[in-house]
Structure formats: structure tokens, C-alpha cells
Amino acid sequence: MADLESFRAETRAWLEANCPEEMRQPIRDDDDVCWGGRNVKFKSEAQKLWLERMGAKGWTVPEWPKQYGGGGLDRAEAKVLAEEMRRIKARSPLSSFGIWMLGPALLKYGNEAQKLEHLPKIARGEIRWCQGYSEPGAGSDLASLRTSAEDKGDHYLVNGSKVWTSYADKADWIFCLVRTDPTAPKHLGISFLLFDMASEGVSTSPIKLISGSSPFCQTFFDNVKVPKENLMGEPGKGWTIAKYLLTHERNMIGGSDSTGGGQRDSVSNIARKLIGLDAAILADTALRTDIARHEMNALAFSLTMERVLAEAKAGQDTGALSSMLKYYGTELNKERMELLMSIRGSDGLTWEGEEKGEGDLARSWLRSRANSIEGGTSEVQLNIIAKRVLDLPGA
């Protein structure tokens, strides 16, 4: 414990000295989030400095081993770091699918050369990754994917296309599910391939969403040559890696990241500001009932995340519960956005107006509708719970 306290003191001092003042301000818009990559455009010198300093210490990925660019911290130390960052309201230096998704899979399934090659670049924000899972017309049905990787001796020849690749137009590399054995049954012929988006034959086309933004792309592969050493794990075992990785994604979407964590203002606080009180209760009693019901569920849900984490830490088996967190968390977030739209009334309908930020709520609301579709639809999560947790029979 004494060690931990001295670690805390050192950490606090280092953060005080190294975290630029600007990086201690709340995130205002998308530009404030740093995604790194070859073509990174830093919004400010402070943002650049903060990434470099944290990357150099490995604290963008505190628990990864030092030889792979990580901080080499144990769980307790990582918690101290997180607490100390929260204390000074330090921003996360780097947002990255490499950190959230590929990294954990690489650590588990990658070979030593792959780990040494890719993990440090992820940690320092040098390479930005995207994910190639879904295919046009396949939706949640990942097992029916058709993108082929033909074995050409020293390389694979990749043909096909992927859809819903987040920020593929901005990414440097892709981790991609491909079919290496066209004769094997559905799940079995799939492999997990890493390759450079700058390879010849790769092209991307952004998908415009109902919210007006284009965070996703369709990505096309036309005779893309990928070196054989870029295969991760065993050939035909891509499905296992994908499932492992999807679990991480589900936790991310269902969890505090995209449904927002403690930093968001509560629905009732927003309602109180906008609608006001009447005799100490919210002036709109029907909305109050709905808000209270929502907030109770949101609170019970966040306690459930806390409990699942605590149980996992205590060594209990919680693996199949990621579907629950994904399902319930995304449905709650949609409900939250619907309530905010109701609370804001006609003001929430604005798409474009004279002031900056008008239209943000409507866009966020529309964006939230995708929560229960991306990363496995709510229906797929319920199927998984029914089959894997409840062990109900197949149809």
C-alpha cells in the first residue's frame, strides 16, 4: 500500500507538470477528440504534446506490457492513474479502435512479431485502425460473409467489400474478417487479416447517415495483395477472434463510452433547467413520471455494470453478460435521447439556426438510433442471451 501511495504521489506530480491546461477542459466538440494516425490533424499544440507525453510513458494503454509500448501498470496502479486523471479532469489523450478493440485481441491471439510491430504504434497513436466485419446485405449475419482472401503462396489476394467500417476514410490499417476457405461451413472458413489501407486496390466511400454525418464507410477490395504474415491467429479461426473482439465492442457501446458516463448531465437536471419546478416537483408531471422511470433504470443499469465488473474481478464467470450490457445500455440511451427531445420540445427540432450548436440535439438523437443496430443488433443480443445464458432450444 505504501508503494501505491508513492505511485500516486509521483503520478500526481507528473500529471500536474505534463498535462497542459487546455487538456483539462471539458470536451466541447468532435475536434477536441484525438484519434491519432498518419494524417492526424491536431487541433492545438497542447493536444499534440499531451498525446506525445502520455504515449512516451505508455499511459495511453497503462496496463499493456512495456515491451509493446504500454505502461506496464498493474490493475491497482492503473486505477490510481485513472483517479488522478479524473482529479484534474484530464482528457483522454487518444481515442482509438486500436486500443479498444484490436489491441486486446492482438495481445491474446497475435504472434510476437505482430505484437511488436503493431501495439507500440497503437499506443503512441501513430497508426489509426478501422474494423472490417459487416458486409453489404449481411447485417448482423456475420457468418455469411463473402469477402475472399485467396491463398497465392506468399500472399492473400483479397476481393470483396465491407460496410459500416467506422472512419475507414481516415484509418491507416484495417483488421478484417475474410473467407480463406470457401469450402468450409459458414463459421469455419473465416480468418482474421490485418492490412494497410494504402494498399493498392483499397477504396472507401463514406455513407451519409440520417443524422447528416458520415462516420461510416463502405470499403472495397479489388485484388488487394496482403502478405501472409499479416494473418492473425490460425487460419479459419477468425470467428473466435471476432467473437472475442465483439465482446469488447459490445461493452464499449453498451457501457459508459457511447451511452456516456458520469460526465453527461442527467435527464432530470436538464428537465429541471428547461421546464422548471412547481411546488418542488417538475412542472410537467407526465414527463416527470417518464423521466423518473428512465432514471431509475439508468441507475440500476449503471449499478449492474458496476456489479458485473466486481463479479468479474472476484473471479465469477460473467462472459455471456456482455450481450445484456449491450442490449440494455443501448436501449436506455435511445430512451434518454427520446426524453431529451420531448423535454426540449420545439427547440429540439432545430436543424440549422443562427446560433452554433443548434441542431446538435436532433443529430445526437438520430445518431442514437444506431446504438441498437451497430455491434450486433438488440435482436441478436436477445438471441444470444436466450441461447447462451438461458439455454433455450433452437427453432
Partner 1 sequence: MALVLTEDQQMIRDSAEGFFKDEAPVSQHRALRDAKDATGFSRDVWTRMAGMGFAGVLVPEAHGGADMGHVAAGIILEAMGKNLSAAPMLSTAVLGATALRAGTPEQQAKYLPLIAQGAHLLALAADEAARHKPSHVATTATPSGNGFRLNGVKGFVLDGHVADTLIVAARTDGETDDRAGITLFLVNPKADGVKIDRRSMVDSRNAAKVTLSDVQVDGADVLGNVGEGFAILEKMLDAGRACLAAEMLGVSGQAFATTVDYLKQREQFGQKIGSFQALQHRAAHLFCEIELARSATLKALQALDEGSDRAPMFVSLAKAKAGDVAILATNEGVQMHGGIGMTDEYDIGFFMKRARAAQETFGDSAFHGDRIARQLGY
Catalytic center residues: 249
Contact (Cβ atoms closer than 8 angstroms) between residue 363 and residue 325: no
The window from 70-78, 192-200, 227-235, 282-290 that contacts partner 1 (CB under 8 A) reads 282-290
Shortest reach from residue 323's CB to partner 1, in Å: 8
Exposure pattern of 127-143 as b/e (b: 16+ CB <10 Å)?
bbbbbbbbbeebebebe
311 binds, among partner 1, a second copy, none (CB under 5 to 8 A by kind): partner 1
Separation between Cα atoms, residue 51 and residue 125, nearest integer Å: 8
Q: Which of 214, 166, 128 is nearest to 375 (CA)?
A: 166
C-alpha cell recorded at residue 138: 449481411
Asked if 280 interacts with a second copy (CB under 8 A), we say no
Asked if 395 interacts with a second copy (CB under 8 A), we say yes
Separation between Cα atoms, residue 129 and residue 141, nearest integer Å: 23
| Residue 237 CA to its chain's centroid (Å) | 23
342 binds, among partner 1, a second copy, none (CB under 5 to 8 A by kind): partner 1
Nearer to partner 1, 75 or 152 (CB): 75
Give just the sign of the alpha carbon dihedral 318, 324, 330, 334: negative
Asked if 35 interacts with partner 1 (CB under 8 A), we say no
Shortest reach from residue 369's CB to partner 1, in Å: 5
Exactly one of 17, 39, 352, 356 binds partner 1 (CB under 8 A); which one?
352
Contact (Cβ atoms closer than 8 angstroms) between residue 20 and residue 50: yes
The window from 80-88, 139-147, 197-205, 287-295 that contacts a second copy (CB under 8 A) reads 287-295
Shortest reach from residue 187's CB to partner 1, in Å: 12
Separation between Cα atoms, residue 242 and residue 176, nearest integer Å: 9
Asked if 141 interacts with a second copy (CB under 8 A), we say no
Exactly one of 243, 289, 299, 311 binds a second copy (CB under 8 A); which one?
289
Nearer to partner 1, 88 or 299 (CB): 299
Nearer to partner 1, 60 or 371 (CB): 371
Exactly one of 3, 28, 346, 356 binds partner 1 (CB under 8 A); which one?
346
Query: What is the contact mask toward a second copy in residues 291 to 330, using x (rule: CB under 8 A)?
Result: -x--------------------------------------
Nearer to partner 1, 199 or 304 (CB): 304
Contact (Cβ atoms closer than 8 angstroms) between residue 67 and residue 157: no
Asked if 43 interacts with a second copy (CB under 8 A), we say no
- For the stretch 180-189, contacts whose Cβ atoms lie closer than 8 Å and that sit 24 or more positions apart, written own/partner, are 180/148, 180/149, 180/151, 180/156, 180/231, 180/235, 180/236, 180/238, 181/235, 181/236, 182/148, 184/236, 186/143, 186/144, 187/143, 187/239, 188/236, 188/239, 189/236
Asked if 208 interacts with partner 1 (CB under 8 A), we say yes
| Residue 60 CA to its chain's centroid (Å) | 15
Asked if 108 interacts with partner 1 (CB under 8 A), we say no
Exactly one of 52, 150, 290, 335 binds a second copy (CB under 8 A); which one?
290
In the block, residue with C-alpha cell 476481393: 159
Shortest reach from residue 243's CB to partner 1, in Å: 16
End-to-end CA distance of the chain: 54
Nearer to a second copy, 39 or 285 (CB): 285
- Residues near a second copy (CB under 8 A): 281, 285-286, 288-290, 292, 395
